Amino acid sequence: MAKQLNFTFEDKEYTLEFTRRTVSEMEKKGFVASEITDKPMTTLPALFAGAFLAHHRFVKQETIDKIFSKLTKKEDLIGKLAEMYNEPIMALVEEPDEDEGNVNWTATW
């Protein structure tokens, strides 16, 4: 099951999650996860906003910023968002289960 963060803000339920599609979309828009340390003022809010894409795509940035400003335990939150972001990436590169339909490959050099 995918990792999700759930909370209620102004009587609305939110579920934050990253999928392969949303991670890809963020990367196409210029998000670079490795820049979190070097550019935290832009990267951390972008990571948080990106988590809305899977289930709450049309929430305005102003609302996302307001929610972020009201959240507690932000250091823990950032760690959880990073775990969530990495989950679809790890799923992309993990080995398939042993199956007769798997494709084996070899290099010619």
Instruction: State pLDDT tens for residues 54-98.
Output: 999 999 999 999 999 999 998 899 999 999 999 998 888 887 777
79 occurs within a structural domain: yes
Chain center to CA of 88: 8
Per-residue buried b or exposed e for 65-84, using 16+ beta carbons within 10 Å of the residue's own CB: eebeeeeeeeeebbebbeeb
The residue that leads in pLDDT, 97 or 45, is: 45
| Domain tally, the chain | 1
49 occurs within a structural domain: yes
104 occurs within a structural domain: no
37 occurs within a structural domain: yes
36: Cβ contacts below 8 Å, ≥ 6 apart: 43, 44, 47, 78, 82
| Backbone angles phi and psi of 46, in degrees to 5 | -65, -35
Domain span at residue 87?
Answer: 5-93
Query: Which value, to the nearest 10 degrees, does the dihedral of the CA atoms of residues 9, 31, 37, 49 take?
Result: 0
Q: What is the pLDDT of residues 9-34, one digit of tens each?
A: 999 999 999 999 999 999 999 999 88
